[in-house]
Amino acid sequence: MKKCRKCGETKSLDLFHVDNSNKDGRSYRCSDCRNTQKREWIKNNPEAKRKAATRYKRWRDNQLMLWKGWTVERGYGYCIACRAPDPEFHHMIPEEKESTMSDLFKKTFNDENKEIVLIELKKTEPLCNSCHKEIHRRTMALYGPSVLEEMIQERAR
């Protein structure tokens, strides 16, 4: 239990945001007070909010370009079935999937995260959107594990 310095109510610790700068590891304000204050700030500072959103979008776009270049260097730049660029990542064995590639690409591009992404990347095959949808359609219909191999052979003809 912790007392919020803003509203004065005593609440459960899980109702306070994590803040490692405090001794107990939680914010001095409860989540309700923090959220209310944040909404007020956004309402009173729309230009600052817009600038922050633009800065974040620019950073995210840069991160995605770094990840894209890194995956292309590792041979994941083209669909293995039709050779189209800009593939999606199909998990061959869905049960082994620990995270989606899009969630992993939201991480900062650095050596530690490269190792995490590479582990998950090795569980995938690069497929364009059309081939990816086709595999899922056929897999749902057939429940056959060799659907990808059949598609590659069909398109190679």
**Could you state, in order of their start, the residue ranges of all structural domains in the chain?**
12-44, 46-156
Per-residue pLDDT reduced to its tens digit, 64-95:
999 999 999 999 999 999 999 989 999 988 88
Label residue 139 by pLDDT band (50, 70, 90).
confident
Q: What percent of the chain shows pLDDT beyond 90?
A: 73
- Residue 135 pLDDT greater than 90, yes or no: no
Cβ density class 36-48: b for 16+ within 10 Å, e for less = eeeeeeeeeeeee
Instruction: Provide φ and ψ at 10, rounded to 5°.
Output: -95, 125
Q: Are 84 and 76 in contact (CB under 8 A)?
A: no
Amino acid at 30: C
Question: In angstroms, rounded to a whole number, what is the distance separating the alpha carbons of residues 131 and 84?
Answer: 10
Q: How many CA atoms lie within 13 A of 28 on its CB side?
A: 5
For the chain, the helix, strand and coil percentages under 3-state DSSP, each to the nearest 5: 55, 15, 30
> What local confidence, expressed as pLDDT, does residue 131 receive?
92
Distance between CA atoms of residues 150 and 66, nearest Å: 33
User: Among 44, 45, 127, 52, which residue's Cα sits nearest to residue 82?
Assistant: 127
Count of all residues that appear for the chain in the document:
157
d(CA 141, CA 154): 18
